[in-house]
Amino acid sequence: MLSLEYLMHGEYALNDSKPFDNLFLPNFCGVRMVLALVIIAQLLAFVLILGPYNNTDRWTDLSLISLFIQWVALSSAALLCLSRPLLRKLGNIPAACLSYILLIAITALVSEAVYRLLQNEALNVWVPITWHRDFLLRNIGISAIVSALALRYFYVQHQWKKNLESEANSRIQALQARIRPHFLFNCMNTIASLTRTQPQVAEATVQDLADLFRASLSDSQLRVPLSAELELSRKYLQIEKLRLGERLNVVWEMDDVPQDALVPSLSIQPLVENAIYHGIEPLPGGGTIRISGHKDNKLIHIIIDNPLLPSEVPARTQGNGMAMQNIRQRLEAYYGKHGKLRVEHTDKYPGRYVVQLSFPYLPSTA
């Protein structure tokens, strides 16, 4: 069953090219947001009908209250949808004040329209004149309380997401600044050994190393095509192949994955680096790294697996958790619940350590 939070935020994470909008209000133009609003409005109608009523016909009261609240909710959503460009320019505090006024105004207008409609003689409904002011004030009061709570909820959710994004960016900056010294020294030694015997290979290795440093120092908030991220991983593997030789074997199975899919920068290469550092280097005979992927409906799954170290081989723990936690947080920041990084069960892949990366398919040409 879909949760209300998924209905309100899931579509935004899938369709927006940015991880977050500067405006704290959700996009009321989306279908899922409207559906969530209808559900919440109906729940409010149930809450109101549970109170003490003189009229014993609760089903009739529920239908009328539901119709009235749905009018107010859908009218408010339409107005916030149309005024979103203006609200985005104003900033959060003025936008919150203006949205609050608009919501109360919509409630007052719909209440007045309902009262005028009940005054129609064709409906044959007797409405006392004194009921007019009480009806308006009661509806405006309820709207003021509910609107304040809703706007507060949206603001808290927005701040939480901003904090999550800020923390994820800080972690990726720390990850980019943490270039393992052993990799740099080993790479320099490899280039030095190739300078006299294979100068062309040494020159190509220097260029690959420069590309790795360039990507490591780039903006962590960028999303790049999957082809660029895979090419960066290939260059890294080429450098490690020169050092490890026959101990390193790589199997690519990426033909079924669209290469134009957008992926956060440095989301695959660190996982490949972990596979070598934690799975290949400790083994005297080395092993095989398999990088595969497939597209399932709107989701792309990329699997990176390496040999699982035997119990007698001491495992390396330094750096592995930081990289994986950072990538997991960035995926959640960009794609919400649709972006995942998880370690698969070893019984499904005996003797292998398997990491799966999942994210929505967003083409770079869109």
CA dihedral 254, 257, 262, 264 (to 10 degrees): -40
Name the pairing type of β-strands 262-264 and 223-225: antiparallel
Question: Per-residue pLDDT for 250 more than 90?
Answer: yes
pLDDT of residue 3: 41
CA distances to 21, 182, 291, 296 from 280, in Å: 42, 15, 14, 30
Q: How confident is the model at residue 125 (pLDDT cuts 50, 70, 90)?
A: low
Name the E strands within the chain: 223-225, 248-253, 262-264, 287-296, 299-307, 340-343, 352-360
Task: Pick the more confident residue, 27 or 59.
Answer: 27
pLDDT tens digits, 270-293:
899 888 888 888 888 889 999 999
Q: At what angle do helices 92-118 and 58-82 cross, to 10 degrees?
A: 140
What amino acid is encoded at 267 in this protein?
S
The pair of structure tokens assigned to 4 is: 């209300």
Q: How far lies 282's CA from each of 240, 244, 275, 317, in Å?
A: 14, 12, 11, 12
Contacts of 366 (CB under 8 A, 6+ apart): 17
Cα dihedral 337, 342, 345, 348 sign: positive
> For residue range 145-183, what is the model confidence (pLDDT) as tens digits?
988 998 898 888 888 887 777 776 666 566 555 545 566
Give the global pTM.
0.55
**Cross-strand pairs, 224:** 263
- Banded model confidence at residue 335, pLDDT cuts 50, 70, 90: confident
The closest alpha carbon to 96, from 56, 47, 148, belongs to: 148
HSE at residue 160, side-chain half, CA atoms within 13 A, is 9
Residue with tokens 């809703």: 150
Q: How far apart are CA 266 and CA 255, in angstroms?
A: 21
Average pLDDT estimate for 65-88: 88
**Residue labelled with tokens 């030789």:** 245
pLDDT tens per residue across span 179-213: 455 667 777 888 888 788 888 888 888 888 787 77
